[in-house]
Amino acid sequence: MNNWLENNEEQIEYFIKSNDIILVGRKYHIDLLLKLIIFYNKTKNSNFLDLGCGDGSISKIIQSKFPNNTIDLLDGSNMMIQILQNKFKSNNSNIINMNFNEWMNLNVEKKYDLIFSSMAIHHLDYYNKNKLFTKIYTALKYDGLFVNIDVVKPVTKDIEDFHFMMWENSIIEKTNNIDESKKHENLPSNYKNKTENKPSTLKSQLYLLENIGFEDVDCHHKDGIFAMFSGVKK
């Protein structure tokens, strides 16, 4: 079961309030995404798609920096979409209430210059990641860019212990007091125990992208389980 698609209010509120604290490298990844947009020359007259957009906080930043683009925001949670509709007002955007499975099976006519996703694709198993990455490739224009910011699976149990320890330390460093840090206690083990989380290793996902035909496939940043990687359709 994927709690996000079951409108779990507590989970949604917790994520929106705490994402800066609980996600390692959040600000850095958003900044890097803006830099990639500039580097790959997609600053204007471009169509963007945010897959698993949540409350649209990343799209909002992108649109404020590059207002002469359109953004489609897709999410499968009705409750998240309601929050998004209240927060995200723009003439250049389209809100799509649809889960990844539906989008993958849709005949997508529109082609995008950039498709990005943050903290969402790890809810698909490896088979469906491959299916989604393939669909993304089809939905991109030539020279279109795909960027994924996501949690990845540690390669061994020892590495998992180390990366979870780094994650916990990062949360403690970002919280101001013990009460605040207690709110996030046991987050790594809770994340691991939820069946909705199906992370794959970074290497296996880079392999999928290359196998599909993406070029310039690389990881730009990785801190423990938090990674950011991309590929271009040339």
Ligand X SMILES: C[S@@+](CC[C@H](N)C(=O)[O-])C[C@H]1O[C@@H](n2cnc3c(N)ncnc32)[C@H](O)[C@@H]1O
Chain residues binding ligand X by CB under 6 A are 2, 4-5, 15, 19, 52-54, 57-58, 75-77, 80, 99-100, 118-120, 123
Nearer to ligand X among residue 123 and residue 135 (C-beta): 123
Nearer to ligand X among residue 120 and residue 152 (C-beta): 120
Q: Give the H/E segment covering residue 89.
A: none
DSSP-assigned letter for residue 140: E
Are 55 and 138 within 8 A, CB to CB?
A: no
Nearer to ligand X among residue 46 and residue 118 (C-beta): 118
DSSP-assigned letter for residue 122: G
Nearer to ligand X among residue 61 and residue 172 (C-beta): 61
Between CA 163 and CA 145 the distance in angstroms is 29
Residue located via tokens 């491959």: 130
Q: Min. distance of Cβ 234 from ligand X in angstroms? A: 26
Nearer to ligand X among residue 151 and residue 202 (C-beta): 151
Backbone φ and ψ for 220, nearest 5 degrees, come out as -90, -25
Are 59 and 71 within 8 A, CB to CB?
A: yes
Question: What is the gyration radius of the CA atoms in the chain, in angstroms?
Answer: 17
Q: Min. distance of Cβ 86 from ligand X in angstroms? A: 14
Q: Which two tokens stand for residue 63?
A: 């649109």
Q: Which two tokens stand for residue 77?
A: 């949670």
Longest dimension (CA), the chain: 51
Nearer to ligand X among residue 64 and residue 143 (C-beta): 64
Residue 185, CA atoms < 13 Å, CB-side half-sphere: 6
Q: Min. distance of Cβ 8 from ligand X in angstroms? A: 9
Residue closest to ligand X, measured at CB: 54
Q: Min. distance of Cβ 100 from ligand X in angstroms? A: 4
Q: Min. distance of Cβ 116 from ligand X in angstroms? A: 9
Q: Min. distance of Cβ 233 from ligand X in angstroms? A: 22
